[in-house]
């Protein structure tokens, strides 16, 4: 199973940005213990490719490891060489989508407008990331779903335990979560149990949501 299948089942991807390589394995272990199954390391994190390689080797089959902030084909090539199992982008770049498809890798491009949603889907992406969702609001996602409900949309950007329900109610296929899930201050102090508790809270809240999304993925 690839990213689309895992996302359909678990509905949550954790976003790692700006932590040290020495912390990545214990952080991932803590998140996995809390129920997280998809983890993305952003490519603008120093040492991202090494972290992706470390994670793929350590969690093969337990966590699906992706590369985030894949802005262009060059970064996609670096992520692929590191072993990334899927790509997530904040932008729409058809070259990145094509690169991923040619290698059998699922990709979730970042989109904002209806035109970008359709362009991404036509380019071969079976799921899109609506970003930045907190600035746009859940009503915006609901309105996109009107004519475009056949394209699964994942809400990303300041999603929290408190507001994620509104995005699922609006039709989100899942959510991507960074700082409200992965507390960098706790990591710096070695308090990895905080990450486990946070993951548990997100998973529990998502399980309680009424989720209705496209069956195309």
Residues 6+ apart with CB under 8 A from 74: none
Quote the CA–CA distance of 193 and 77 in Å, as a whole number. Answer: 34
Catalytically annotated residue among 129, 143, 200, 207? 129
Domain residue ranges of the chain, discontinuous segments joined by +: 3-207
Q: Which of 57, 76, 73 is nearest to 65 (CA)?
A: 57
List per-residue pLDDT tens for the chain, 217 residues long.
799 999 999 999 999 999 999 999 999 999 999 999 999 999 999 999 999 999 999 999 899 999 999 999 999 999 999 999 999 999 999 999 999 999 999 999 999 999 999 999 999 999 999 999 999 999 999 999 999 999 999 999 999 999 999 999 999 999 999 999 999 999 999 999 999 999 999 999 999 998 766 544 4
- In whole numbers, what is the pLDDT of the chain averaged over residues? 96
131 and 112 Cβ atoms separated by less than 8 Å: yes
Question: Phi then psi for 66, rounded to 5 degrees?
Answer: -120, 170
Q: Where are the alpha helices (DSSP H) in the chain?
A: 3-10, 21-33, 48-59, 73-82, 94-102, 114-123, 133-136, 138-148, 164-169, 184-188, 193-207
DSSP labels, 139-195: HHHHHHHHHHTTS-EEEESS--TTTHHHHHHTT-SEEEE-TTTS-HHHHHTT-THHH
Per-residue pLDDT at 213: 62
To the query of whether residue 143 is one of the catalytic residues in this protein, the response is: no
To the query of whether residue 40 is one of the catalytic residues in this protein, the response is: yes
Per-residue pLDDT at 116: 98
Q: Which of 4, 53, 45 is nearest to 25 (CA)?
A: 53
Question: Phi then psi for 68, rounded to 5 degrees?
Answer: -105, 170
Q: Return the CATH number of 3-207, one of 3.30.70.980, 3.40.50.720, 3.40.50.1100, 3.20.20.70.
A: 3.20.20.70
27 and 187 Cβ atoms separated by less than 8 Å: yes
Catalytically annotated residue among 8, 40, 78, 162? 40
Rounded alpha-carbon distances, angstroms, from residue 17 to 24, 96, 133, 152: 10, 20, 18, 25
Per-residue pLDDT at 211: 77
């Amino acid at each position: 199973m690839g990213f689309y299948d895992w996302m359909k089942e678990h509905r949550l991807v954790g976003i790692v940005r700006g932590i040290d390589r020495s912390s990545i394995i214990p952080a991932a272990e803590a998140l996995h213990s809390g129920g997280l199954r998809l983890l993305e390391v952003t490519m603008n994190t120093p040492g991202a490719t090494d972290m992706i390689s470390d994670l793929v080797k350590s969690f093969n089959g337990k966590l699906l490891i992706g590369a985030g902030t894949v802005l262009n084909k060059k970064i996609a090539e670096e992520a692929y060489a590191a072993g990334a199992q899927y790509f997530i982008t904040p932008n729409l770049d058809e070259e990145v989508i094509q690169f991923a498809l040619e290698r059998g890798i699922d990709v979730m491009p970042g989109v904002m407008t209806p035109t970008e949603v359709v362009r991404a889907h036509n380019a071969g992406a079976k799921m899109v990331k609506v970003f930045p969702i907190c600035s746009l609001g859940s009503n915006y996602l609901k309105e996109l779903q009107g004519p475009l409900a056949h394209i699964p949309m994942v809400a990303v950007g300041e999603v929290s335990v408190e507001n994620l329900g509104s995005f699922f109610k609006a039709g989100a296929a899942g959510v991507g979560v960074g700082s409200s899930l992965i507390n960098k201050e706790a990591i710096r102090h070695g308090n990895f149990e905080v990450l486990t508790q946070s993951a548990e809270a997100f998973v529990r809240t998502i399980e309680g949501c009424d989720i209705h999304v496209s069956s195309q993925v």
